[in-house]
Amino acid sequence: MPAKHTLRYLPVAQDDLIEIFDFIAQDSPNHASSFVEKLDKRISLLESNPLLGRVPRNTKLQEYDYRVLIIGSYLVFYVIHGQTVEINRVVHGSRSLDHLI
């Protein structure tokens, strides 16, 4: 059984999840809660399989060893540091990513 990694959310990634919740909650608070739980559950899969996400196409992101996990329309950007998976951003795929990462 592979060693478990520790997940660590950067404060900006935590803020991203709050923004996602707030945006969806404008229409449906129940859906917002279940959707953010779904995101969190899928992200938690990185604890046992940190290579689950793919290497991004953007060469700048590749230089910094980013990986991206796609969950529906959302992109989870993360970096693996030893036994820690650092969640850097959780953003909608339609957003411009140039200034986010």
- Tokens representing 77? 């950007």
Q: List, for residues 50-94, the tens digit of each pLDDT value.
A: 999 999 988 888 899 999 999 999 999 999 999 999 999 999 887
The order of strands in the sheet holding 84-92 is 6-9, 84-92, 74-81, 66-71
| Amino acid 99: pLDDT | 63
Render 24-88 in DSSP notation, one character per residue: HHTT-HHHHHHHHHHHHHHHHGGGT-TT-SBPPS-HHHHHTTEEEEEETTEEEEEEEETTEEEEE
Could you give the CA distance from residue 68 to residue 56 in angstroms, rounded to a whole number? 6
| Amino acid 93: pLDDT | 80
pLDDT above 70: percentage of residues in the chain: 90
Could you give the CA distance from residue 74 to residue 11 in angstroms, rounded to a whole number? 18
Q: What's the topology of domain 6-92? A: YaeB-like fold (3.30.2310)
Could you give the CA distance from residue 88 to residue 57 in angstroms, rounded to a whole number? 17
Q: Are 46 and 85 in contact (CB under 8 A)?
A: yes
Give yes or no for residue 31 having a pLDDT over 70. yes
* Per-domain residue ranges of the chain: 6-92
